[in-house]
């Protein structure tokens, strides 16, 4: 394994063909899915005034931007393929990194991809009216995206960037239509809160922050492809910060328009707020257009997932703690085609089994445990003086500690709300411990 201080930008066997624009689109594409078109009502059910609702989304953006600055410094110190996997390996122990990759492949990434693929299939069939089963559309979609990414990292990135631009266009259409064509705005910022400042108000705001933080998650997966950026130390930190700021702007704009068109009470009662806004603005044609936007958004999120996560499995195999075939690169395209294919095949298995909804319940706590652990790597790497970063986390260690505390709060809330699911998730995580040592033994033998 190469030392991270020994010219890390020249050490990757992967093809370095991505630039700042590609990386920024990956950051945004890994965050913006179908949720922003649907989930604003969940926040409005917890806090009941426009000021608090928008405040939750702004606060979520601030927390996400804090995380982006942390990851920007981590990426500058360790611009290696695998992102979080590399940070955990260097800061703590290869076992910790392996466990992250293990649950990423087994449930976190593939379970999420299965759910998103089904969502896309449903919207696609609703829009086209084709008499074909959902599972067939889902498999064909995954197959096409897998082929696109096996043709080369630039090919996969171009598809992802095009879909992200279409997502931005769909959100812009929603915002513009809601601002110009809805003539009975309900937005008022008074009163700021519907109850006096109390523990109950803080508890409600905390509950509202949970879906907000989930909506902002995913930007960190762009770090997986650090080994394929032309200038990772320069472009990846910039992409993280620019991408998260762009997502925060999109999310706040959507919620502002939903509140303007529907009001806080109407938003809380509408499970499909984006469709309601577009229907009010443009009738049924607007509802069809936003359904198309949601389909494109889910497809773009899926495309980003197919592109980024296999780089973690590649790094694991390259370290000798996973199937060595996953480290094989196509001699012409220099992409890990086996890792990409294995992830898509396992996603199809989960999809056909119908177990993805249960899996998503199991993995929430694990995902945020590793999120917090990855952020805490900054304390370790700074203490060791590893790397000479040009990008540094403002306000460290206080700001980094606050971000880790936010991650811990999500984990604690998940354990409290879903203790059974958390135990199942931890059991899945624990199975990786003997698997790691078996692979280490095989590798040494």
93-150 per-position pLDDT tens digit = 999 999 999 999 999 999 889 989 999 999 999 999 999 999 999 999 999 999 999 9
User: What pLDDT, in 10s, does the model give residues 363-384?
Assistant: 878 888 999 999 999 999 999 9
- Structure confidence at residue 362 (pLDDT): 79
Task: For residue 278, tell me if it sits in a domain.
Answer: yes
- Structure confidence at residue 354 (pLDDT): 82
Task: For residue 9, tell me if it sits in a domain.
Answer: no
SS3 state at 248: helix
Phi, psi of 229 (to 5 degrees): -90, 140
- Flag whether pLDDT at 409 surpasses 90: no
For residue 229, what are the β-bridge partners? 18
Q: Please, what is the angle between helix 109-128 and helix 134-150, to 10°?
A: 120
Instruction: Check: CB of residue 75 under 8 Å from CB of residue 401.
Output: no
Query: In whole angstroms, what is the distance from residue 221 CA to residue 240 CA?
Result: 10
What whole-number percentage of the chain has pLDDT above 90? Answer: 74
Task: For residue 3, tell me if it sits in a domain.
Answer: no
- Structure confidence at residue 225 (pLDDT): 94
Range from 175-179, 195-199, 428-432 carrying the lowest mean pLDDT: 195-199
Task: For residue 122, tell me if it sits in a domain.
Answer: yes
Residue 234: which of 444, 353, 79 has the closest Cα? 79
| Confidence category of residue 10, pLDDT binned at 50, 70, 90 | very low
What whole-number percentage of the chain has pLDDT above 70? Answer: 97
Instruction: Check: CB of residue 326 under 8 Å from CB of residue 338.
Output: yes
User: What pLDDT, in 10s, does the model give residues 26-62?
Assistant: 999 999 988 888 889 999 999 989 999 999 999 999 9
User: Any residues with CB less than 8 A from the CB of 312 and at least 6 apart, and which?
Assistant: 82, 83, 84, 85, 100, 101, 104, 105, 224
**Count of domains forming the chain:** 1
| Confidence category of residue 7, pLDDT binned at 50, 70, 90 | very low
User: What pLDDT, in 10s, does the model give residues 181-209?
Assistant: 988 777 778 788 877 788 888 888 888 88
| Confidence category of residue 11, pLDDT binned at 50, 70, 90 | low
CATH code, 31: 1.20.1740.10
User: What pLDDT, in 10s, does the model give residues 54-94?
Assistant: 999 999 999 999 999 999 999 999 999 999 999 999 999 99
Q: Rounded to an integer, what is the distance from CA 300 to the centroid of its chain?
A: 12
| Confidence category of residue 18, pLDDT binned at 50, 70, 90 | very high
Going from the C-alpha of 182 to that of each of 276, 325, 360, the distances in angstroms are 11, 56, 37
- Flag whether pLDDT at 6 surpasses 60: no
Task: For residue 1, tell me if it sits in a domain.
Answer: no
Instruction: Check: CB of residue 340 under 8 Å from CB of residue 310.
Output: yes
- Structure confidence at residue 8 (pLDDT): 45
Task: For residue 8, tell me if it sits in a domain.
Answer: no
- Structure confidence at residue 207 (pLDDT): 83
Once rounded to an integer, what is the mean pLDDT over residues 408-424?
86
Task: For residue 215, tell me if it sits in a domain.
Answer: yes
Mean pLDDT score of the chain? 91
Model confidence, pTM: 0.92
Once rounded to an integer, what is the mean pLDDT over residues 270-279?
92
359: containing domain? 16-444
| Confidence category of residue 5, pLDDT binned at 50, 70, 90 | very low
Task: For residue 7, tell me if it sits in a domain.
Answer: no
Query: In whole angstroms, what is the distance from residue 116 CA to residue 130 CA?
Result: 19
- Structure confidence at residue 39 (pLDDT): 84
| Confidence category of residue 443, pLDDT binned at 50, 70, 90 | confident
User: What pLDDT, in 10s, does the model give residues 279-323?
Assistant: 999 999 999 999 999 999 999 999 999 999 999 999 999 999 999
- Structure confidence at residue 96 (pLDDT): 97
């Amino acid at each position: 394994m190469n030392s991270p201080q020994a010219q890390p930008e020249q050490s990757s066997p992967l093809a370095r063909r991505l630039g700042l624009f590609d990386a920024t689109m990956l950051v945004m594409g890994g965050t913006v899915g179908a949720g922003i078109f649907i989930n604003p009502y969940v926040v409005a059910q917890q806090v009941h005034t426009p000021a608090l609702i928008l405040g939750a989304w702004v606060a979520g953006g601030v927390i996400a931007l804090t995380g982006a600055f942390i990851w920007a410094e981590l990426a500058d110190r360790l611009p290696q393929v695998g992102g979080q996997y590399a940070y955990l390996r260097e800061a703590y122990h290869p076992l910790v990194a392996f466990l992250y990759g293990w649950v990423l492949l087994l449930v976190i990434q593939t379970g999420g991809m299965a759910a998103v693929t089904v969502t896309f299939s449903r919207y696609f069939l609703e829009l086209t009216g084709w008499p074909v089963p959902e599972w067939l559309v889902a498999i064909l979609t995954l197959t096409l995206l897998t082929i696109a990414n096996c043709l080369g990292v630039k090919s996969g990135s171009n598809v992802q960037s095009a879909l992200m631009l279409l997502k931005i266009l769909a959100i812009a259409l929603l915002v513009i239509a809601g601002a110009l064509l809805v003539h009975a705005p309900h937005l008022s910022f008074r009163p700021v809160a519907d109850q006096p400042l109390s523990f109950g108000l803080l508890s409600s705001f905390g509950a509202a922050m949970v879906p907000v933080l989930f909506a902002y998650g995913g930007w960190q997966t762009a770090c997986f492809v650090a080994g394929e950026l032309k200038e990772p130390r320069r472009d990846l930190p910039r992409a993280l910060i620019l991408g998260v700021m762009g997502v925060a702007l999109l999310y706040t704009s959507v919620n502002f328009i939903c509140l303007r068109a529907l009001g806080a009470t109407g938003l809380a009662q509408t499970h499909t707020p984006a469709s309601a806004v577009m229907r009010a603005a443009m009738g049924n044609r607007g509802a069809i257009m936003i359904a198309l936007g949601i389909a494109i958004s889910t497809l773009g999120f899926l495309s980003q997932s197919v592109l980024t996560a296999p780089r973690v499995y590649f790094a694991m195999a390259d370290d000798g703690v996973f199937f060595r075939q996953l480290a094989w690169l196509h001699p012409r395209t220099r992409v890990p085609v086996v890792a990409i294919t294995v992830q898509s095949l396992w996603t199809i298995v989960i999809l056909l089994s119908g177990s993805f909804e249960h899996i998503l319940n199991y993995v929430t706590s694990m995902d945020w445990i590793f999120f917090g652990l990855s952020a805490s790597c900054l304390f370790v790497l700074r203490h060791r003086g590893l790397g000479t970063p040009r990008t540094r986390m403002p306000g460290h260690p206080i700001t980094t500690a606050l971000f880790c505390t936010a991650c811990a709060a999500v984990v604690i809330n998940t354990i409290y709300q879903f203790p059974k699911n958390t135990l199942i998730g931890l059991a899945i995580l624990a199975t990786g411990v003997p698997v790691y040592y078996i692979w280490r033994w095989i590798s040494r033998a």
